[in-house]
């Protein structure tokens, strides 16, 4: 079965602190994709990153970085020098193949990040 | 600008009423999806459509119906059979099964 676990329900940090959001997944597929989305208070999900299961290189984009480790089935997300604008709910998602042969996403329950000024 | 629009932003329904949520995209994406989000939870798939005139049930399709008569439109009807429809509804689209992009959502409240 496909499953994504985000054990951290809520994290509160002070501005400029670094913060890591954890994501652990389960899948029986050999080829899959992992995603992170940001949901600000407005509600719309904003795509942040997609990672192919064959590519374990870490990725950095500005203050954001992602660490993908197949050995531990984890895809963690780090925000460096956090800012108030980073306050949002962050979702990790896993793309898997359904019985129809089509791909779908399964989402974790999300981590609410509050960055205090 | 290309994107996904959902309307209305807020919707109120009386008991026993059917309501329809609109989702339109001009990204030329083949696939479209409807998700439901409850407070403090992740997204759950209601229905999805890979091509026009074809759609499939997701994990929680009971009490919902959809149509896909045009590539750019994928409306969701919440029927009176849905016993607990109060939630935030998100529409998404993608090229095939690739990265999904989301609309701004509709918040449905049952009075």
CA distance B32 to B68: 9
Q: Given an 8 Å threshold on Cβ–Cβ distance, is A44 in contact with B58?
A: no
For A20, the token pair is 């890591």
> B57, B93, B99, B104: best mutation site toward chain A, by most A Cβ within 10 Å?
B99
CA distance A12 to B106: 28
- Let me know the angle formed at the C-alpha of B47 by B43 and B48, rounded to the nearest 5 degrees: 100
Provide, as residue numbers in chain A, all residues whose Cβ is less than 8 Å from the Cβ of B97.
95, 102-104
- The minimum CA-CA distance between B101 and chain A, rounded to whole Å, is 7
Higher pLDDT, A19 or B95: A19
Nearest to B42 among A43, A44, A108 (CB): A108
Q: Is the pLDDT of residue B1 over 70?
A: no
pLDDT tens, position by position, A72-93: 999 999 999 999 999 999 999 9
- The minimum CA-CA distance between B12 and chain A, rounded to whole Å, is 18
Query: Which of B62, B27, B30, B21 has its CA nearest to residue B45?
Result: B62
Provide, as residue numbers in chain A, all residues whose Cβ is less than 8 Å from the Cβ of B96.
103
CA distance A110 to A108: 5
pLDDT tens, position by position, A89-100: 999 999 988 777
B43 touches chain A (CB under 8 A): yes
Chains A and B: how many Cβ contacts under 8 Å? 54
Write down the pLDDT at residue B15: 86
CA distance A21 to A9: 10
> A10, A33, A39, A43: best mutation site toward chain B, by most B Cβ within 10 Å?
A43
Provide, as residue numbers in chain A, all residues whose Cβ is less than 8 Å from the Cβ of B103.
44
Contact residues, chain A to chain B, C-beta under 8 Å: 4, 9, 35, 37, 42-47, 50, 91, 95, 100, 102-105, 107-110
pLDDT tens, position by position, B19-78: 999 999 999 999 999 999 998 888 999 999 999 999 999 999 999 999 999 999 999 999
pLDDT band at A56 (very low <50, low <70, confident <90, very high): confident
Phi, psi of A70, deg, nearest 5: -65, -30
B42 touches chain A (CB under 8 A): yes
């Amino acid at each position: 079965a496909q499953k994504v676990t985000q054990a951290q329900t809520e994290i509160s940090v002070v501005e400029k602190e670094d913060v890591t959001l954890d994501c652990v997944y389960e899948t029986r597929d050999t080829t899959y994709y992992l995603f992170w989305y940001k949901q600000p208070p407005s509600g719309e999900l904003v795509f942040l990153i997609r990672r192919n299961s064959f590519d374990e290189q870490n990725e950095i984009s500005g203050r954001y970085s992602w660490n993908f480790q197949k050995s531990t089935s984890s895809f963690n997300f780090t925000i460096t020098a956090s800012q108030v604008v980073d306050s949002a709910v962050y979702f990790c998602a896993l793309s898997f193949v359904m019985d129809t042969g089509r791909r779908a996403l399964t989402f974790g329950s999300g981590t609410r990040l509050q960055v205090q000024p | 600008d290309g994107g996904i629009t959902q309307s209305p932003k807020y919707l109120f329904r009386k008991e026993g009423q059917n309501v329809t949520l609109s989702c339109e995209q001009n990204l030329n994406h083949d696939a479209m999806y409807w998700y439901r989000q409850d407070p403090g939870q992740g997204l759950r798939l209601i229905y999805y459509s890979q091509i026009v005139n074809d759609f499939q049930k997701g994990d929680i399709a009971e009490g919902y119906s959809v149509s896909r008569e045009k590539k750019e439109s994928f409306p969701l009807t919440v029927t009176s059979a849905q016993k607990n429809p109060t939630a935030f509804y998100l529409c998404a689209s993608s090229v095939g099964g690739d990265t999904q992009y989301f609309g701004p959502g509709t918040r449905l409240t049952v009075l």
